[in-house]
Structure 1
Amino acid sequence: MVDHSSPPRPPLSTASLIARLAGIGAVVAVMAGAFAYVNGSLDPQRLRPKTLVDALETNNGVHPGFRRNHAKGVCVAGYFESSAEARVYSRAEVFSAARTPLIGRFALPSGNPYAPDSSVPIRSFAVQFSLANGQQWRTGMNSMPVFPVGTPEAFYQMLKAGAPDPATGKPNPANMSAFFAAHPEAAPFLAWVKTARPSASYATETYNGINAFYLVSAEGKRQAVRWGVVPQIQDAAGETAPAGADFLEKDLVQRLASGPLRWQLNMTLANPGEPLEDASKPWSGEHKVLNAGTLVLQSSQPQADGDCRDINFDPLILPSGIEASNDPLLAARSAAYASSYLRRAGEVSPLHTAPAESKP
């Protein structure tokens, strides 16, 4: 594999790390969505979509017409150009067709649509592939390599730890520190946080799917994978996010005016015994990585009226040839995304008109 990593960054001091963790509760709450079980009609001991979306609003405020997670974003459009490498592993048409049109959305992991672009070190990229046979593949990816915790219940506790203190209006650093002390599974995520810095561009980020899925061949053979996209361009050595609140969308528009932007879609094949149902656990050691093709972005649109506005990027909308693993976060994300959509669909904000209808 080619090493696409950025130059090493100096680690944060202990004080800086604690300060970052104090604010990251709300950030993590929207990295991959709020979580609950699929149908939302479970017994009282289990989490429900409403509970988690309510918690997002507590942490981020209510912003009518906007998504409750990843509220600040920009629409993009282009196509996926497949290679031959994934075709033997999956019968999905997206890997056999020469080109598949796509609609995507870059966003910040915050429920606040007015958050400064430099306020968090994470960027997200959601994509909808529209296959010629009428099927769709939707995926949401983030620039972090793993999720902090592996269950919806632990995530909810993390969300509560990051809630603002009524006396100060800000999260209490002690609560977040206590949460992580009680959840050693978050160690890989915390190691990443120590060196993470906000990138200067959406176009230079690597985005990871984090959860495991299965590729299913024409013969019915299943291969567990995690996927991600790697950019063809990167930040210059030492480059950091500029000052200002809204540089990411402006940078993207300028870059696209000069030509398309490209990412390689990598499928990392799981080794025997790999953890498939816990997104907090990294896959270590050598792995076979397929170059499944290239995502090509050709244009952008403001999210207020762009084609991505009404899309619910539900990670369980999958074509024949790709199947979900039993990772509980996947089903949970699906339910909470729907709950969030239903809230914003009936609202109007100064920047948004209410979505006309959800696209399937």
Structure 2
Amino acid sequence: MRALYLALLLAPAVSFGADAPPKVSAQQFVNLQQGDSAFPGFRRAHAKGICISGEFQANGQLADYSQASLFKAGSTAFIGRLSIAGNNPTAPDLKAPVRSMALSFASSRTEQWRLAMNTPPVMAVADPHTFYQQIQAIQAGPAAIKQFFADHPESDEFRAWAAQYQPSGSFAAETYHSINAFYLINADGKQQAVRWAMQPTVAVAANASDEADALQQEIAARVAAGKVVFDWVFTLADAADDETNPTKAWPDSRQQITAGQLVVTGTTPQLEGDCHAINFDPLVLPSGIAATRDPILRARSAAYAESYRRRAKEQLQGALEGSNNE
């Protein structure tokens, strides 16, 4: 049951586009995400979160692999968000074992990079249509999802991860994975498929608090007392790895490069912070980074945009109603 629960929680982290047969629109997928209980003005997925800010301190070790200015030795500011999965902005933090980190870097006026990462290292399925069917099966009940997983052995690695995963007591102590692969492209045009992870530099035991905002309170207090640091570690694929299949982890023997450290120095409640207005679309990429042909990765943008459109419209309507009542 834990694997099923985690699969359902992870569901909102991935979006469905109209490019995989049979066609299901972004509107239909977002409808599935929000169900019967939309919360106006909030994300349809990962609705509860906290804004973070700080800088990425690059060591230059990845500069030969990508022309992205972010990887040159030096520091780049970011705006980010830590969140739990689900569409309820008032949900208890500790009831959602899937946690996420999103980041936005503005290297210049014309270049931005947005990243969306989750605690699971792999997906349960490899394409958007099957993912849509998975969520429908989960909503249909235990018998349906049991049959779904029996029909889809590609979910084995995700289910094995879910069975052993133990959530920590802090956002600062989780590992956040890109899950999908991307290409690094250097100045000579050579590309290298990679996945990455933000790896914590602290360990925190499980939290037994009954506070609804336990994780948010913990990270705010931790950052106020001192910076929170993650190592940004890239794993390089070799010829045996399929960069288009997010259900398969790459072997531990693959080369890894630590590009630097992400240093979190500030937190802000999301409704008061800059992160609330950002659409963390993982296909907003700078020069030197490119999307692979992973069908789930390439389908996410449409549903992110649809979710953003809905909450922006709701926020505007709320503002107009408020002004009319004055």
Pair in the same fold by TM > 0.5: yes
Kept in 2: contact 1:214–1:222 (CA 8 A)? yes
- Aligned with 2:298 (options 331, 334, 338): 331
How has the CA–CA distance of structure 1 residues 195 and 285 changed in structure 2, closer, same or farther, with 3 Å as cutoff? Answer: closer
Shift in Å, 1:153: 0.6
Number of residue equivalences: 319
Identity %: 41
Alignment partner of 1:89 is 2:65:
yes
Kept in 2: contact 1:264–1:295 (CA 8 A)? yes
Report the AA paired with residue 153 of structure 2: P
- Aligned with 1:46 (options 16, 20, 23): 23
Separation in 2, partners of 1:353, 1:217: 46
SS state at 1:340 partner: helix
Shift in Å, 1:347: 1.0
Q: For 1:10-159, list aligned pairs within 5 A.
A: 18=1, 20-30=2-12, 32-37=13-18, 45-58=22-35, 61-96=37-72, 98-132=74-108, 134-159=110-135
Please name the residue that 1:197 is paired with: 166
How has the CA–CA distance of structure 1 residues 89 and 21 changed in structure 2, closer, same or farther, with 3 Å as cutoff? Answer: closer
Separation in 1, partners of 2:123, 2:135: 13
Deviations 1:125-180 (A, max 9, x none): 000111146311111011111111110011101111122xxxxxxx6222221211
Kept in 2: contact 1:101–1:129 (CA 8 A)? yes
Alignment partner of 1:231 is 2:214:
no
RMSD: 1.9
Kept in 2: contact 1:74–1:107 (CA 8 A)? yes
Kept in 2: contact 1:24–1:162 (CA 8 A)? no
Please name the residue that 1:175 is paired with: 144
**Structure 1 length-normalised TM:** 0.84
Report the AA paired with residue 67 of structure 1: R
Kept in 2: contact 1:209–1:226 (CA 8 A)? yes
**Structure 2 length-normalised TM:** 0.93
Shift in Å, 1:285: 4.3
Moved over 4 A (4+): none
Alignment partner of 1:299 is 2:228:
no
Deviations 1:103-145 (A, max 9, x none): 0000001112122112122110000111146311111011111
SS state at 2:117 partner: strand
Structure 1 window deviating more from structure 2 (172-181 vs 247-256): it is: 172-181
Please name the residue that 1:3 is paired with: none
Alignment partner of 1:222 is 2:198:
no
Report the AA paired with residue 16 of structure 2: F
Report the AA paired with residue 62 of structure 2: A
Separation in 2, partners of 1:246, 1:47: 35
How has the CA–CA distance of structure 1 residues 151 and 259 changed in structure 2, closer, same or farther, with 3 Å as cutoff? Answer: same
Please name the residue that 1:13 is paired with: none
Report the AA paired with residue 8 of structure 2: A
Q: Which has more helix, going by share of residues?
A: 2
Shift in Å, 1:57: 1.7
SS state at 1:255 partner: helix
Shift in Å, 1:76: 0.5
Unaligned runs of at least 5 residues, structure 2: 321-326
Shift in Å, 1:21: 4.3
Shift in Å, 1:22: 4.8
